[in-house]
Structure 1
């Protein structure tokens, strides 16, 4: 199901375990499925001047922008930085899911991609 909307060549690369595939869309799809499984409505942000964000959710009563990065330049996220600079939006924190360890730089927290499974509202934890 994960690859059903991808083109034939992308599907073949995934099942053949080729290393040169751009994993960005696969990672975004995984994060979307995980957020949806945790009952977060999925919102996308796109603005010509500010850029685009992969996901915007409401978490713990706050707006939480989420970026998903598959490459080594995961700390480069101009759209996210642009959004965080707008005081009227009131965004306190942002998450980036990537292939690295956990760390925080300013308002942005970085998590390993698999850790998206732990993102859920406290009221929903049993």
Structure 2
């Protein structure tokens, strides 16, 4: 049986994003959750900047959806499984840009946690 898994705190997740196996799996998971929304994320930058680059790209995508048809945004957040509590907490932010950035952080952290759990328990 696998040893107990301790998920990293949100502040610790950035470190894991630079690991090649985690980075590849996070990009794949993001693209899976983006589904057929005509959006894909590709990463070819330096691994040590992976977290920030992915977050910035997510922020741009989320911003387009926030300013357009929010149907895509709602479906994406459901697939990612971002908690309603987290979303409601972010809604208190003052600017759209700040909301987009914070929401991108929530999404990326959730995807990282899913990948780390899958890697820990050996699921493809």
Verify same fold: TM over 0.5. no
Structure exhibiting the larger radius of gyration computed from Cα positions: 1
Q: Which has the higher helix share?
A: 2
Going by fraction, where is strand more abundant, 1 or 2? 1
